[in-house]
Chains A and B, each alone.
Chain A
Amino acid sequence: MGVKTFAAIDVGSYELSMKIFEVSQRKKIREIDHIRHRIELGTETYNTGKLSNEKVDELCRVLTEFQEIMKGYQVTACKAYGTSAIREMKNRMIILEQIKLRTGIHVDVISNSEQRFLDYKSIASKGAFFDEMIVRGTAIVDIGGGSIQVSLFDKGSLVTTQNLKLGILRLREKLVSLQLKPTHYDEILEELVAGQMEVLEKLYLKGKKIENIIVVDEYISNALGTGKGDAKESYIEAVDFEGFRKGIRSKSPSEMAREYHIAEESIFLLYISTMLVQHILKLTEAGHLWIPGVTLCDGIAYEYAEQNRLYSSDHDFEKDIIDCTQNISKRYMGSKKRGETLEKIATTIFDSMKKVHGLGKRERLLLRLAALLHDCGKYITLNGVGMASYEIVMATEIIGLSHTEREIVANVVKYNYLDFDYYQEMNKGAVIDRQTYLCIAKLTAILRVATGLDRSHKEKFKDIVAVHRGDELILTVNTPYDITLEKGLFTPRAAFFEEIFSITPVIKQKRIM
């Protein structure tokens, strides 16, 4: 039939939800059912780091019911993701195993950046409208319970993405703990928000013209009724939003609940959400808002559709990751040209020996990122670039990368400078499994050769052809320059490469007269 039924489960910090989708080439992604169960996992794990037995039981009970519902729809595939509440659980391995045994549902934990990337993908999946929009300055404001994610776009590419601890649940807790009069909420919220927003503004917004804000938030889209129909219908003017917000301020919760048909308990969160959006509107002076009403589940479905080649957007998400990384490099005064040369050499080598390293498309992307960020640590110190670069990469959120992937990039960058630590050593601090370790080793070997070839930073090796023949990797350079320096210093760099792949890289020059 060509129609696949897919279930996406979001084990969130305050809600367990499942969406059932139909995915097909013809109808694309169609939501059939949305089941939500309120369960505050976040409050427990944030406070104690663990989940009580009652909560685990409840979680398992509802997930078992979800299984039944899936059976009812004859769901062919299911993907469950746990976000921050699960992430911050100390005993998550044990709990997740329990859940799997009791309910048959395997819950994967995703990092904040992966989660945001999925949200982002689900927005982009709304079609051409998104690509049109980001040509002009655009900010995506993804509002969550614990934090919000602000991503900036300019000229069609992703400039940066920042996580601010201004989630609506977090803000609510703060407001409640202060025991304020409701009339003071506005002021205090302003203050809570302004501090962090100021940094964002200074670092990233200076001189940028933001015209559109894309809001990812359940409460606002629900109250405004956006996200149901055509994408264009959920597009509103900033002025109208201001009107809507003022309306909220002047009404009692029960009036609001009646008018907007939302549960009374959600009203406060809606209020905080609108407040945040309003603040960003003011900061950016954006004129338009787009509230497509997507949730993590939509992102999961999109990912599934993409993986199964049932659907793909015209938007190039890999480019977003590269763009974003280039911007990070730029912030730390990395040379764009040098980065690009390294990237070119590294990928050339990578592509020429696919059979040898056995790595895939995703690892190739990681290699590119490592090449782009290879010397960002220089910004901090010239001695110990390796460690400094590692720290920078680990501390910087790169949208779309999982935690492990970020770890790979950071390590490759680190060992590009420092002596390689073997598994027993590397495995000491962080949790690096065998596969990750091998990937780090392979990518490091390639990057080392590439850096070796660009020793003089003069981009002599810009046009390079790599051919793998027998136990040699022949790197033919097409350059009029003298490459004695590179040739001379190449051997120690190549040694590691040999160790990893049992292949000797050899430089050959093809002089253009």
Chain B
Amino acid sequence: MSESDKNKDYRNPRYYTNRELSWVLFNTRVLNEARDKNIPLFERLKFLSITASNLDEFFMVRVASLKDMVAVNYDKPDIAGLTPQEQLKELGRVTHELVSLQYSTYTRSLLPMLEKNGLHVIQAHEDLTEEESRYVDRFFMDNVYPVLTPMAVDSSRPFPLIRNKSLNIGALVKKKGEKKELEFATVQVPSVLPRIVEIPAEAGKTRKVILLEEVIEKNIEKLFLNYDIVCAHPFRIMRNADLSIEEDEAEDLLKEIERQLKKRQWGQAIRLEAEAGIDSRLLEIIEKELNIGEEDIYRIPGPLDLTFLMKMYGMEGFDHLKKKPFAPQPVPAMEGEGSIFDKIRKGDILLFHPYETFTPVVDFIRQAARDPQVLAIKQTLYRVSGNSPIIAALAQAAENGKQVSVLVELKARFDEENNIVWAKMLEKAGCHVIYGLVGLKTHSKITLVVRREEDGIARYVHLGTGNYNDATAKLYTDMGLLTCSEAIGEDATAVFNMLSGYSEPLSWNKLSIAPLWLKDKFLYLIGRETENAQNGKKARIIAKMNALCDQDIIAALYRASTAGVKIDLIVRGICCLRVGIPGVSENIRVRSIVGNFLEHSRIFYFENAGLPEIYMGSADWMPRNLERRVEILFPVEKEELKARIMHILNCQLKDNVKANILTKDNVYEKVDKRGKKAYDSQEAFCLEAIQTAKEKKDDYHKRVFIPETHIV
């Protein structure tokens, strides 16, 4: 280490971006997709909807936790040197900007485009024609009115509970014939009804829709018969939803989480969205009752809660305005006769979702459940789909007398409720269910199948970068590995022993586990590249992940960059690292791919002086992944699989359509395509998957149908 390097302070706050602000940049990148004219119109609706639900979650968790910090006077600055107070202030500014960009996108680009393409969104009930009005009113009386619960506030009726994330219509009312003061009334827009109400139109003509809250607003006087309606406006609040579970004190984690979930409805309000033209008297009442400050009020020039656009995306009849859905392709190694275990025995199998189907993973568990030779199935589950075939297979396995152990992470945020339901179901079926570990979230994705074979016990392992969720596997890009390597099998057994509360194994063969050793492993791998660069050997790092915000790792990357290691980072979301800082990060390039599929895989490439090593895993380079979660990093060792992963990384580095490059001014810019052929890596992977599947099929048929023509 040179003298100058030793003295360099790689932890200087100036070298870091605040993670929340970086997240807003990410959501802006998603929003940019909604603004991209090259993308089919309905896909753009979808992206806009995603930015809205992202922002909701961001408020409920991140902003809420900053508010908590401020509330207890916690003022330690983050890695970028900002105190929680300062972060909130800055965030207030950028999120307001983001929101106004969302709505200008909606009203200025998307609405006119929809109109042009035959879908008219009626923005205010006042714009309805007489005939339309009649339909809407009937619709209201038939479908909406019966499920509404209007509530008025007076001295005998306290201010009602406004549910988190719910859309409401607030109104100022006055008793009929009396000159008394104004009273507050509210009604929740029922979430059980579709938000979009289509008004019948003649065939072939422009279709018309109106939003449910407009329908209610139009008919609001029917809800408060003895009152005059002075004004009525939609509003929506966001509450602090970060569960604070006292795990050590909780007797039963399951019950504690159930209890806390109910409390989520009562969290402190941290954001209020209201229609832009809201009556100031009405706003004042809501503001006061919810105890919310001016800076947390968002005046929305359009419909609240844009997530309804996802429903609009689902409307039939507009397929020409959507991207043709991609059907995940069969995995070549899975073709042909024999059980999945026979196939894994032939060699490790790499899975690349969603380009390749998730079926092998489901089959792995399904076949294990039925296979008489299988003794045990062990799996960690974090988020699964509703009606998951994996859960069904596990339950079936238990019923077939297999030993089934499942670690269900109850603390998977926003999936807690969901997870409790099927965890109970698994238990009923006879599975041994472990409800997570005290103080840690189990984020690793691993399945172990123990099988008794001719010559003894054999272990089959699936390791992945994504959740065991067949629904998201069609949308998230993830990698998986199926293997029967003895070394990994032993480690997998050890992982489950540890998860069951037994001591750590004496040593690990191949896997690195967080929170025990994973961070050290990464620091070691980065450090090795640094050393190699210093000794004039080949040194290079390519790392792909969802978020990068661990200071130790970033500092190590800065050191590596300074030593001359060429570093390419493919970080979809938050990135606290800054590029192009003279003498610190000049050798680091950061790109973010935001495409049709959600980039989700974590892949790490280290040059290792010409003997490259490739790892994959469940962990991002975030403190929470490396320190407070159970994560697994696994090596890919088979040369042909390594070559395939290299190809995938190279394609992503070549992407100039969906890639955004982080500049030294700390903004993301699309790649300058001038003089280059457009290359969309996700598109390319789709085509490759189709091609490979086809080749393999042809190959297979060819092989099967070659008759012997002459005898030697």
Q: Specify which chain A residues have a CB less than 8 angstroms from the CB of B375 in the assembled complex.
A: 72-74
Q: Are B502 and A36 in contact (CB under 8 A)?
A: yes
The one of B456, B503, B520 that contacts A3, using a Cβ cutoff of 8 Å: B456
Least Cβ–Cβ distance between B400 and chain A, in angstroms: 14
Instruction: Decide if A37 is an interface residue (CB 8 Å cutoff).
Output: yes
Stretch of B132-140, B277-285, B505-513 with 4 or more beta carbons under 8 angstroms from chain A: B505-513
- Rounded to whole angstroms, the CA-CA distance of A38 and B498 in the bound complex is 12
Least Cβ–Cβ distance between A221 and chain B, in angstroms: 8
Stretch of A24-32, A82-90, A120-128, A197-205 with 4 or more beta carbons under 8 angstroms from chain B: A24-32
Least Cβ–Cβ distance between B701 and chain A, in angstroms: 38
Residue of A nearest to B459 (CB): A32
Least Cβ–Cβ distance between A91 and chain B, in angstroms: 28
Instruction: Decide if B452 is an interface residue (CB 8 Å cutoff).
Output: yes
- Rounded to whole angstroms, the CA-CA distance of A262 and B503 in the bound complex is 11
Interface of chain A residues 1 through 47 with chain B (CB within 8 A)? 1, 3, 5, 15, 22, 24, 26-27, 30, 32-38
Q: Are B506 and A72 in contact (CB under 8 A)?
A: no
Instruction: Decide if B187 is an interface residue (CB 8 Å cutoff).
Output: no
Q: Specify which chain B residues have a CB less than 8 angstroms from the CB of A36 in the assembled complex.
A: 497, 502-503, 505
Least Cβ–Cβ distance between B79 and chain A, in angstroms: 23
Q: Specify which chain B residues have a CB less than 8 angstroms from the CB of A263 in the assembled complex.
A: 503-504
Least Cβ–Cβ distance between A30 and chain B, in angstroms: 7
Task: With A33-B497, A74-B452 as known contacts, state yes or no: A68 contacts B403, CB within 8 Å.
Answer: yes
Interface of chain B residues 492 through 524 with chain A (CB within 8 A)? 493-494, 497, 500-509, 516-517, 520
The one of A71, A222, A293 that contacts B403, using a Cβ cutoff of 8 Å: A71
Instruction: Decide if A225 is an interface residue (CB 8 Å cutoff).
Output: yes
Binary B-proximity of A47-75 (CB < 8 A = 1, otherwise 0): 00000000000000000010010011110
Instruction: Decide if A155 is an interface residue (CB 8 Å cutoff).
Output: no
Least Cβ–Cβ distance between A61 and chain B, in angstroms: 10
Q: Are B450 and A72 in contact (CB under 8 A)?
A: yes
Q: Specify which chain A residues have a CB less than 8 angstroms from the CB of B502 in the assembled complex.
A: 35-37
Q: Are A30 and B456 in contact (CB under 8 A)?
A: yes
Q: Are B507 and A225 in contact (CB under 8 A)?
A: yes
Q: Specify which chain A residues have a CB less than 8 angstroms from the CB of B148 in the assembled complex.
A: none
Task: With A34-B505, A71-B403, A72-B403 as known contacts, state yes or no: A22 contacts B497, CB within 8 Å.
Answer: no
Q: Are A218 and B506 in contact (CB under 8 A)?
A: yes
Instruction: Decide if B457 is an interface residue (CB 8 Å cutoff).
Output: yes
Instruction: Decide if B210 is an interface residue (CB 8 Å cutoff).
Output: no
Q: Specify which chain A residues have a CB less than 8 angstroms from the CB of B506 in the assembled complex.
A: 34, 218, 221-222, 262, 293
Q: Are A27 and B456 in contact (CB under 8 A)?
A: yes
Instruction: Decide if B455 is an interface residue (CB 8 Å cutoff).
Output: yes
Task: With A5-B457, A24-B456, A32-B457 as known contacts, state yes or no: A38 contacts B450, CB within 8 Å.
Answer: no
Q: Are A73 and B507 in contact (CB under 8 A)?
A: no
Q: Specify which chain A residues have a CB less than 8 angstroms from the CB of B454 in the assembled complex.
A: 1
Instruction: Decide if A508 is an interface residue (CB 8 Å cutoff).
Output: no
Q: Specify which chain A residues have a CB less than 8 angstroms from the CB of B497 in the assembled complex.
A: 33-36
Residue of B nearest to A72 (CB): B403
Q: Specify which chain A residues have a CB less than 8 angstroms from the CB of B500 in the assembled complex.
A: 65
The one of A15, A24, A222 that contacts B507, using a Cβ cutoff of 8 Å: A222
- Rounded to whole angstroms, the CA-CA distance of A396 and B454 in the bound complex is 48
Task: With A72-B375, A72-B376, A74-B375 as known contacts, state yes or no: A38 contacts B503, CB within 8 Å.
Answer: yes
Q: Are B503 and A33 in contact (CB under 8 A)?
A: no
- Rounded to whole angstroms, the CA-CA distance of A293 and B456 in the bound complex is 23
The one of B450, B493, B507 that contacts A261, using a Cβ cutoff of 8 Å: B507
Q: Specify which chain B residues have a CB less than 8 angstroms from the CB of A74 in the assembled complex.
A: 375, 452
Least Cβ–Cβ distance between B687 and chain A, in angstroms: 44
Residue of B452, B457, B493, B517 with most partner-chain A CB within 10 A? B457
Residue of A nearest to B508 (CB): A261
Residue of B nearest to A69 (CB): B403
Interface of chain A residues 250 through 295 with chain B (CB within 8 A)? 258, 261-263, 293
Give chain B's interface residue range (CB within 8 Å of chain A).
20 to 34
Task: With A38-B503, A225-B507 as known contacts, state yes or no: A261 contacts B517, CB within 8 Å.
Answer: yes
Instruction: Decide if A228 is an interface residue (CB 8 Å cutoff).
Output: yes
Q: Are A26 and B455 in contact (CB under 8 A)?
A: yes
Least Cβ–Cβ distance between B522 and chain A, in angstroms: 12
Q: Are B517 and A73 in contact (CB under 8 A)?
A: no
Q: Are B455 and A32 in contact (CB under 8 A)?
A: no
Q: Specify which chain A residues have a CB less than 8 angstroms from the CB of B457 in the assembled complex.
A: 5, 22, 32, 73
Residue of A nearest to B377 (CB): A72
- Rounded to whole angstroms, the CA-CA distance of A36 and B497 in the bound complex is 8
- Rounded to whole angstroms, the CA-CA distance of A355 and B9 in the bound complex is 87
Q: Specify which chain B residues have a CB less than 8 angstroms from the CB of A228 in the assembled complex.
A: 507, 509
The one of B507, B509, B520 that contacts A258, using a Cβ cutoff of 8 Å: B520
Q: Are A27 and B455 in contact (CB under 8 A)?
A: yes
- Rounded to whole angstroms, the CA-CA distance of A482 and B487 in the bound complex is 72
- Rounded to whole angstroms, the CA-CA distance of A222 and B506 in the bound complex is 6
Q: Specify which chain B residues have a CB less than 8 angstroms from the CB of A3 in the assembled complex.
A: 455-456
Interface of chain B residues 459 through 512 with chain A (CB within 8 A)? 493-494, 497, 500-509
- Rounded to whole angstroms, the CA-CA distance of A34 and B491 in the bound complex is 11
Q: Are A37 and B503 in contact (CB under 8 A)?
A: yes
- Rounded to whole angstroms, the CA-CA distance of A22 and B456 in the bound complex is 7
Q: Are B493 and A33 in contact (CB under 8 A)?
A: yes
- Rounded to whole angstroms, the CA-CA distance of A33 and B494 in the bound complex is 8
- Rounded to whole angstroms, the CA-CA distance of A228 and B507 in the bound complex is 9
Interface of chain B residues 436 through 451 with chain A (CB within 8 A)? 450
Residue of A nearest to B519 (CB): A258
Binary A-proximity of B85-97 (CB < 8 A = 1, otherwise 0): 0000000000000
- Rounded to whole angstroms, the CA-CA distance of A96 and B2 in the bound complex is 64
Least Cβ–Cβ distance between A371 and chain B, in angstroms: 44
Residue of B455, B494, B502 with most partner-chain A CB within 10 A? B502
Least Cβ–Cβ distance between B131 and chain A, in angstroms: 70
- Rounded to whole angstroms, the CA-CA distance of A262 and B504 in the bound complex is 9
Residue of A24, A36, A38, A218 with most partner-chain B CB within 10 A? A36
Q: Specify which chain A residues have a CB less than 8 angstroms from the CB of B505 in the assembled complex.
A: 34, 36
Q: Specify which chain B residues have a CB less than 8 angstroms from the CB of A261 in the assembled complex.
A: 507-508, 516-517
- Rounded to whole angstroms, the CA-CA distance of A27 and B508 in the bound complex is 23
- Rounded to whole angstroms, the CA-CA distance of A68 and B502 in the bound complex is 14
- Rounded to whole angstroms, the CA-CA distance of A438 and B235 in the bound complex is 95
- Rounded to whole angstroms, the CA-CA distance of A425 and B210 in the bound complex is 105
Q: Specify which chain B residues have a CB less than 8 angstroms from the CB of A218 in the assembled complex.
A: 506
Least Cβ–Cβ distance between B682 and chain A, in angstroms: 38
Binary A-proximity of B423-443 (CB < 8 A = 1, otherwise 0): 000000000100000000000
The one of A32, A37, A293 that contacts B493, using a Cβ cutoff of 8 Å: A32
Interface of chain B residues 329 through 377 with chain A (CB within 8 A)? 375-376
Q: Specify which chain B residues have a CB less than 8 angstroms from the CB of A33 in the assembled complex.
A: 493, 497
- Rounded to whole angstroms, the CA-CA distance of A72 and B454 in the bound complex is 17
- Rounded to whole angstroms, the CA-CA distance of A26 and B457 in the bound complex is 14
- Rounded to whole angstroms, the CA-CA distance of A205 and B376 in the bound complex is 52
Least Cβ–Cβ distance between B585 and chain A, in angstroms: 26
Residue of A nearest to B524 (CB): A258
Q: Specify which chain B residues have a CB less than 8 angstroms from the CB of A258 in the assembled complex.
A: 517, 520
- Rounded to whole angstroms, the CA-CA distance of A153 and B114 in the bound complex is 91
Residue of B nearest to A222 (CB): B506
- Rounded to whole angstroms, the CA-CA distance of A34 and B507 in the bound complex is 11
Task: With A68-B403, A261-B517 as known contacts, state yes or no: A73 contacts B450, CB within 8 Å.
Answer: yes
Residue of B nearest to A37 (CB): B502
Interface of chain A residues 204 through 240 with chain B (CB within 8 A)? 218, 221-222, 225, 228
- Rounded to whole angstroms, the CA-CA distance of A353 and B366 in the bound complex is 64
Residue of A33, A222, A228 with most partner-chain B CB within 10 A? A33
8 further A-B contacts with Cβ under 8 Å, apart from A35-B497, A37-B502, are A26-B455, A32-B493, A33-B497, A71-B403, A72-B375, A222-B507, A262-B506, A263-B503
> Would you mind naming 24 contact pairs between A and B with Cβ atoms under 8 Å apart?
A3-B455, A22-B456, A24-B456, A32-B456, A33-B493, A34-B497, A35-B497, A35-B502, A36-B505, A65-B500, A68-B403, A68-B432, A71-B403, A72-B450, A73-B450, A73-B457, A222-B506, A225-B507, A228-B509, A258-B517, A261-B507, A261-B508, A261-B517, A263-B503
Nearest 5 A/B pairs, CB to CB: A72-B403, A36-B503, A22-B456, A222-B506, A72-B376
